[in-house]
């Protein structure tokens, strides 16, 4: 079982995702990066599920994550759309009205 490879792939995806979330200005790209992070988690879940002899729990969790991710992207995109309508821009660093 090539567990390491799966975990490595997951880790790389996760790192790319974190980079995207932290360093990108474009809100859509940030959403996409979050998606990457979630999927890297999915890979880990499935990899461990397979190592445990095809344990369906891991699959179930991965499915849940996918469903939740879809909902999250829906809400996120709606937010981005509204922000764009109001400000004609989706650069995140310009959105700092919430600062304390």
Partner 1 sequence: MIATAAPGWFLEHAYVIPLIPAVAFALIIAFGKRIPDTRIGRYTIPGGGSLIGVASMLGSLFFAAGAALQWIQYTDGENYVAAVRKSWVWWQSGGIEIGLGQQIDGLSVMVLLLVAFISTLVQIYSLEYLKGDRRYTHFFASLTLFSAGMLVMVLAENMVQLILGWEIMGLCSFMLIGHWWEEKANSRASLKAFFTVRTGDIGLLVGTAIVGLSAQKWITANGLQDQYSGFSIEGISRWALAGDSQYKSVLTWGAVALFIACIGKSGQFPLHTWLPDAMAGPTPVSSLLHSSTMVVAGVFLVARLYPVFFEGLRILDTNVNLIAVIGGITIIVAALLAFVQTDIKKVLAYSTVSQLGYMMMGLGVGAWTPAVFHIWTHAFFKCCLFLCAGSVAHSGSHHSFDMKKDMGGLWRKMPVTFVTWTISSMALAGVPFFAGWYSKDEIIDIAGGNQYWVFFAIGLAGAFLTTAYMTRATYLTFFGKARGAAAGIHDENHSDAHAPAPSAHGAADAHDAHDAHDAHDSHAGPHESPWLIKGPLVILATLAIIAGLINAPAFKIFKFEEWVEPKAMPVSLTGETIHEGSARNISVGAFGLRTSSEGESERKPVAAEGDGHSPTEGESGAEEHSAGYPGSAIEEGHLTGDCGTPGFVPAAGTTCYAPGVIHHEFEWVKALPAFLLVVLGFIISSAVCVTLYGKKRRPLAGLTERNIIARGLYKFLWNRYYLDALYEGVIVRGIAHPLARAMYWLNQNVFDGIVNGAGRSGRKVGEITYKYVDQGLVDGVVNGSGAAARGTGTALRPTQSGKVSQYGALLFAAAALAALILVLVNS
H-only helix segments in the chain: 3-23, 27-51, 56-87
User: Mask of contacts with partner 1, 39-78, x by CB under 8 A?
Assistant: -----------------x--x-------------------
Q: Which is nearer to partner 1, 23 or 81 (CB)?
A: 23
Structure tokens at 86: 């109001």
Report the DSSP beta bridge partners of residue 91: 26
Residues that bind partner 1 (CB under 8 A): 18, 21-25, 27, 30, 56, 59, 92-93, 95-100
């Amino acid at each position: 079982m090539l567990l390491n490879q799966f975990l490595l792939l997951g880790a790389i995806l996760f790192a790319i995702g974190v980079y995207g979330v932290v360093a990108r200005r474009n809100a859509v790209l940030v959403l996409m990066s979050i998606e990457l992070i979630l999927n890297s988690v999915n890979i880990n879940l499935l990899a461990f599920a397979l190592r445990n002899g095809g344990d369906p729990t891991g699959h179930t969790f991965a499915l849940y994550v996918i469903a939740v991710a879809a909902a999250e992207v829906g809400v996120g995109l709606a937010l981005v759309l509204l922000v764009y309508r109001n400000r004609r821009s989706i650069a995140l660093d310009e959105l700092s009205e919430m600062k304390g």
